[in-house]
């Protein structure tokens, strides 16, 4: 949900953070592309 220009900055400074950009997603990416968002969340949780 963070604008792309700030995402890399935050990812580099938050331990364990992972950056994923969903093509075509906007501020409402959870509504626009729920399958892609859920897949990314599941992959992140499985990596813990």
pLDDT digits (tens, 9 = 90+) for 10-40: 999 999 888 999 998 888 999 999 999 999 9
DSSP run (H or E) holding 44:
helix 34-46
Tell whether pTM > 0.85: no
Q: Determine how many CB atoms are found less than 10 A away from the CB of residue 42.
A: 10
Q: What is the dihedral of CA 29, 34, 38, 40, to 10 degrees?
A: -40
What is the predicted pLDDT for the residue at 1? 67
DSSP 8-state code for residue 10: H
Q: Which residue has the tokens 């906007």?
A: 26
Contact 36, 20 (CB under 8 A): no
């Amino acid at each position: 949900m963070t604008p792309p220009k700030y995402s890399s900055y935050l990812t580099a400074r938050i331990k364990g953070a992972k950056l994923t950009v969903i093509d075509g997603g906007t501020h409402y990416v959870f509504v626009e592309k729920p399958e892609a968002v859920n897949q990314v969340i599941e992959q992140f949780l499985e990596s813990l």
